[in-house]
Amino acid sequence: MSRISKGPITTFRDNIKVARGFVKLHFYINDLLTTGGDESVGKLMEFTDQLLESLGVGFTSMGEMITGHLQSEVETGLVSRGEEGVKQFVDSMRTTLRPSLERAVETIEEVKAAVERGLLQQSIVIAVSALEVYLRDVTLEAVSKNRYIEQRFTPQLSEKFDYNHLRRAEHDIRRAVGEAVGESYHFYDSRSVRRHLRTLLNREPRLSSQADLERFRSIVAYRNLVAHRAGKIDSVFKKQTGNKGKVGSSVDISQKLVEDAFIFVEDVATDVQEGLEEQRAGG
């Protein structure tokens, strides 16, 4: 079996967990802002209600318990003021709260913009970066620890290996060779990645069909647009992805698009990890 540790794939999966966390955060905050939390907070309140009921607490729901208490306090306080006192109280509250409410609305709009675009955008950046780092690290490890894998990359090493690799690796020749191979392909070029993985695995990789190559290019294009153009659509992006958005407008990244990207990069990484672990010396 090839000498391949779990380190690179574990780091990759940890990064994907972070990306998935961003998607969940997007859902909960977006739900809170658009529906008042029907799905997110609502499910929590439903659980709380069930818990209180199981404990025999005499309230229909936690919500009613809180609302009922506040209503009682407010009614008691207002009744003691009389009609004129209530009017003065309402006018005073309007004057006092207006600046705070205006700031709150502004903050909510800012948060909403970040939720609608920022969280999902960063999720896809993390996912693509996680795959890039994994492929680099697992290549370095596979080549540096397995000479029969190194030999497959003789043409690349003959062309690319130089003293700088040895110096950066502090004269660890095995590591230097691994780093040179890792730099011999272009991650953001789907065909270059496919050629590299064919050599690394000594078989066709998960990233092999034309559909796979196009999907990879599209995911990378979304990542590059967010990382380099703040998510603003340009003509290059439209050509790469077929996106119908207007040039200069913010790209619309849906939760489904991001979750599909997660599945794709996980499939590619898992295929590479399994392919390397299954290889036998001299295979």
pLDDT digits (tens, 9 = 90+) for 54-76: 555 544 554 555 555 555 655 55
In tens digits, the chain (283 residues) has pLDDT values of 667 899 999 999 999 999 998 888 888 777 776 776 666 655 555 655 555 555 555 445 545 555 555 556 555 555 566 666 656 766 676 677 677 656 655 665 665 555 556 889 999 999 999 999 999 999 999 999 999 999 999 999 999 899 888 898 899 999 999 999 999 999 999 999 999 999 999 999 999 899 999 999 999 999 999 999 999 999 999 999 999 999 999 998 999 999 999 999 999 999 999 999 998 654 4
Per-residue pLDDT, 92: 72
DSSP label of 281: T
Distance CA(187)–CA(197), nearest Å, equals 11
CB atoms within 10 A of CB 103: 10
The residue type of 191 is R
Distance CA(140)–CA(148), nearest Å, equals 14
pTM for this entry: 0.73
Q: Could you give the angle at which helices 210-229 and 255-278 cross, rounded to 10 degrees?
A: 120
Q: Where are the alpha helices (DSSP H) in 80-209?
A: 82-113, 120-145, 147-152, 154-160, 163-168, 173-182, 190-201
**Which pair of structure tokens corresponds to residue 223?**
């990542």
Distance CA(113)–CA(133), nearest Å, equals 30
CB atoms within 10 A of CB 74: 10
Q: Which of 149, 130, 129 lies closest to 139, judged by CA? A: 149
> Which phi and psi angles does 247 have, rounded to 5°?
-60, 130
Distance CA(273)–CA(66), nearest Å, equals 53
Burial (CB count <10 Å: 0-12, 13-18, 19+), residue 143: buried
CA 243 from centroid of its chain's CA atoms: 20
Residues in the chain: 283
Distance CA(253)–CA(251), nearest Å, equals 6
3-state secondary structure of 6: coil
Residue 205 in contact with residue 271, Cβ under 8 Å?
A: yes
